[in-house]
A and B are shown apart, each in its own frame.
Chain A
Amino acid sequence: MTAIGKVVATELKPATPHQFHFWTATDTSVGIGAIVKVAEGGTGGTGDGGRVVYGVVTEGFAYSDLATPLHDVVGAEGDPTRADEAPTARQQIRYWTAAVLRQTPEEPLQPVPLGQVYVADDADVAQALRMDTFLFSATPTAIPVGLYTSAGRDSPVYLDADFLLGPEAAHLNISGVSGLATKTSAVEFLLASIFAHFPAHKGRVAAVCFNVKGPDLCFLDQPGDLSDEDRRRYERLEVPSEPFQRVRLYAPLKADGVNLNTLRTHPDLVGDVEPLTWGLQEVVDYAEVLLNRDDIDAKADAFIDFLRDRVLGRTFDDGFGTTHRVQTFADLDRFFRAVFDGLEITAGGRSDTWRTHHIATMRKVRNRLLNISTRCKGLVTDDGPSSDLPWNGFEDRTVYVIDIANVDPLGQDLVFARVVSRLREQLERRELGVDAVIVFVDELNKYAPGDGPETYVKKMLLDISERGRYLGLVLFGAEQFRSQVHRRVVGNAGTQVFGRMDMDELATPGYQVLTPATKSKLATLPIGELMIRHPHFTQPIFVRFPKPPVLRGRDGVERFPPAADVPFEDAVVRQLVRLDRRVRPNQVKDLIADREQDDVRRALAAVRRTRPDDVLAYFRKVLGARVEPEALLREHHAVPPLNPISDEPY
């Protein structure tokens, strides 16, 4: 190995245990982010008999022996065009500052020796980033995240699964400007890498991705265009350059109750999309989500508990002479009317409480619940749960994409709250089917903003980020501006990733630890390059990653243009065919020709729920009479309690 520099130290700029300075030739491969090695004594950088120090370049300086800029002006006689005519080039220096990544031996911790400087090779990079411990152990836990490419190198960089996906640390946060930071792409690549490298001894892993932006995550099962260079990088990182093998897509229905509310509606692909529809019970279980959005009200909570415990799915006597069995939103509306009317008539409007609940509270709860059924029609149906995620049967290395890009914000919160809470419950019971789940939330600043009300969703995201690592519930969050996300949600992410950053953002206090050179590198970072902080790395490291192996959302809608909404009968046919290929369209159309759409939707929901062997026969049967909503036999799930948001984590 040949030396590329030499450590120099002066009284004013000494070498310390954590930082050193060195010079290189003017023409050098070293740059900001380069990893270098300093070897004391010995030859060829082996560090024989001395200490070896690894560092990452954080700042660079160039200057010449020019005593004052005036002398340059004098030399050129004030004429800039002549400034370059001088026949001799002044003596110059390339002077670098590096932050220590690791010292060997680690004890006693001493200032960096004034030795020669070498460019780090693969083995040095592994040493420098303390990857040797998890890369070469008996049970390796290394997850490739990209290639370290500074100083002409091409060395794989790995994250430690124990620190990325728990239990030691967990969660990942990625930030950077839109379009250039490659946030979504980086997460897609990392998921592919995790699926390829999640160690067997850690069990099974799956991912749940919320698609919140257009077609972003709708084509994870379709191959994307990769360059030869991308493929080479995949090979170097030992990650297959293929789209995800197992992708399950979920999308709510549109208001018509039969067409899917997603951009993946091209006839070739729409067959894979599962409708996501929930009923009254699911909504009431998470009613706090709807209420807490702007007001926390203990009285409302008490009334919701009452509804859940005493009314829903039970035979209930309202005390005014009517017996209710509330199973749908329509039933719920009837129930409220009966109570309000009863109060009006029997009490003559004098009493404003009913069974200790104030009428205003009841009106509020009623309005919120019925409101969601209209605002999120298609997600929330009147027919009970007809389609949901497989809570007991998550499969290994499968991505579950939930497309809520076109759902009302309130509905998005509801989906988040319910999905994440269910994941948490199932993981706690060890009944989910996998040992770890990565939950990818794009636009995290919308769901866990640094300011604004303490919504249920925000509390839930905080809860995962603080306790998820013990459960295997891992949050991968992305946002443009980290400073806009709740401090503790980003703070708890063990791994922090940065793409191209905005200068204003870099000026916020969160980035004070970075040198001006590192900041300016971040502000001009090319597409495909990221800066990574990870518990094992004592300094941020720059890596390159290949384009994700999947079809980009934007390209997906071009290659597979979304189909226009199909007429009601065709949509019904399509859904039935999806469940049973033998179903003949004309038979279905004849069956539903003179039926109420509501009845047809209800029958369809029953088919989805039951998944009978003979779909058409069952459909015909349930359509025969008014389809009663299936008795709600399940135990209802109360929303798990959450700690209030406070600045103390416990």
Chain B
Amino acid sequence: MTWWRALVDAGAVPGRGSTRDEVEAGARADLVEENELQTHPIPEPRIPDPVSFLNGIERWSVVAYDGVVQVVNAYVAAAVRRRDATGGLHTTFERSRGFAIAPLDRMTPMVRQALEQSVADVESVPSELVEQPARYLEMIEATVRRARARMERELAEEALDDLAADEWLVIDGLLSRSPDVARHPRALGVIKSHGAQFLEGRGLERALTLPAGYRTSVFAVRGGHTRTEVYSWYLRLWPWEGNDLLYGLLRIEARAHPDTVARASALSAWLWTERAPLATPATRWDRLLYPLHHVEEYLKARAPRDLQQRASRMSRLPRLAS
């Protein structure tokens, strides 16, 4: 018998592994439903029809060194796919961008010229970090992520303009990045990383030990400087007991409007049904809705070949000249 068995016998919940999400800034949230954060079982689901799903991908890799200057090839893409009556998904909006990233003013003239002549889309970055390769790459990563976020935002706005009368748009990630999107009555953000903390005390405990098939009370989230206020709540798709506190836990964002509070239970019930089919083999299938996974797989299949493989999967063994 392991020693933690005794803890379980004394009333603790068994756990296994853990999820570490990147820590993000999160402001205190104000409850907009009830005075204290409560948990609510979800009702019988009703699935809206049609629904569109938006997701994006990013890829980058260093492709050349001009001295210590790392020249990066980057690719971002996003797509909206609409679900038809038979449950099939069809692309309605799609965008992609392949571009180079380099600190142009730090490059040798010949290489810079070659770069500018051969790539139509070059994004220049400041040159301060060039001599600190690790931080430079963090900056590159942030640049690519921003490009992707911008593309997703634009695509979301475009899709919402075109949304049918009772159609919903489900976005992978924050809703609050664009004011138009954040205020739309039928847009939902589905967030699966919980680096940002909005709750504390008893409310936090209730949220993190939420049983499967339950949601929390709705609270208001005021994000960073550019972010528009949205309403949010937690929803648990799969039992966390025996796994970890974040297992199967989603945070949903919808517009800051009394209707959101009124609808939170019905929307939760709908999203709960999206647990199946499982988004395996994705590692975070417990929190990834299959249609969002599907959009990502679609984008991956269409990404340029040379960027399809993840760097981590590539062999680090020295290459032999052939």
Contacts and interface: CB of A to CB of B under 8 A. Distances in A.
Interface of A: 65-68, 71-72, 74-76, 82, 85-91
Most chain A Cβ neighbours within 10 Å, of B51, B87, B274, B276: B276
Most chain B Cβ neighbours within 10 Å, of A71, A76, A87: A87
A71 B288 CA distance: 14
27 contacts: A66-B277, A66-B280, A67-B281, A68-B280, A71-B277, A71-B280, A72-B277, A72-B278, A74-B278, A75-B275, A76-B276, A85-B273, A85-B276, A87-B51, A87-B83, A87-B87, A87-B274, A88-B83, A88-B87, A88-B89, A88-B291, A88-B294, A89-B86, A89-B87, A89-B88, A90-B290, A91-B294
The 7 closest A-B CB pairs, nearest first, are A75-B276, A89-B87, A86-B276, A71-B278, A67-B280, A88-B291, A67-B281
Given A67-B280, A74-B278, A86 B87 contact: yes
Interface string B25-68: 00000000000000000000001000100000000000000000
Contacts, number: 47
B297 interface: yes
Given A65-B297, A75-B275, A75-B276, A88 B290 contact: yes
Interface residues of B, number: 19
Contacts of B278: 71-72, 74-75
Nearest to B48: A87
A65 B290 CA distance: 11
B110 to A, nearest CB: 39
B274 A88 contact: yes
B287 to A, nearest CB: 14
Contacts of B86: 89
A87 B290 CA distance: 10
Contacts of A87: 47, 51, 83, 87, 273-274, 291
B111 to A, nearest CB: 37
A85 B281 CA distance: 21
A66 B280 CA distance: 7
A87 B277 CA distance: 8
A560 B260 CA distance: 83
Given A71-B278, A86-B277, A91 B297 contact: yes
Interface string B82-97: 0100111100000000
Contacts of A71: 277-278, 280
Given A88-B290, A88-B294, 13 more contacts: A68-B280, A71-B277, A71-B280, A72-B277, A75-B277, A76-B276, A86-B276, A86-B277, A87-B51, A87-B83, A87-B87, A87-B274, A88-B291
B46 to A, nearest CB: 11
Contacts of B297: 65, 91
Contacts of A90: 277, 290
A67 B86 CA distance: 22
Nearest to B88: A89
A71 B282 CA distance: 12
Nearest to B273: A87
A85 B273 CA distance: 8
A92 to B, nearest CB: 9
A464 B276 CA distance: 66
Contacts of A76: 276
B166 to A, nearest CB: 15
A76 B273 CA distance: 10
Contacts of B51: 87
Contacts of A66: 277, 280
B278 to A, nearest CB: 4
A88 B273 CA distance: 10
B290 to A, nearest CB: 5
A89 B87 CA distance: 5
A91 B90 CA distance: 11
Contacts of B89: 88
Nearest to B86: A89
A622 to B, nearest CB: 86
B154 to A, nearest CB: 25
Contacts of B274: 87-88
A48 B51 CA distance: 43
Nearest to A89: B87
Nearest to A77: B276
Contacts of A85: 273, 276
Nearest to B301: A91
A74 B279 CA distance: 11
Most chain B Cβ neighbours within 10 Å, of A68, A71, A72, A82: A71
Nearest to A83: B276
Contacts of A72: 277-278
Contacts of A68: 280
A155 B40 CA distance: 65
A583 B47 CA distance: 91
B169 to A, nearest CB: 15
A67 B277 CA distance: 11
Contacts of A89: 86-88
Nearest to B276: A75
A87 B274 CA distance: 6
A24 to B, nearest CB: 15
Interface string B236-262: 000000000000000000000000000
Contacts of A74: 278
Contact of A86 (B273, B280, B281): B273
A119 B89 CA distance: 26
B263 to A, nearest CB: 18
A74 to B, nearest CB: 6
Nearest to B51: A87
Most chain B Cβ neighbours within 10 Å, of A66, A72, A76, A86: A86
Contacts of A91: 294, 297
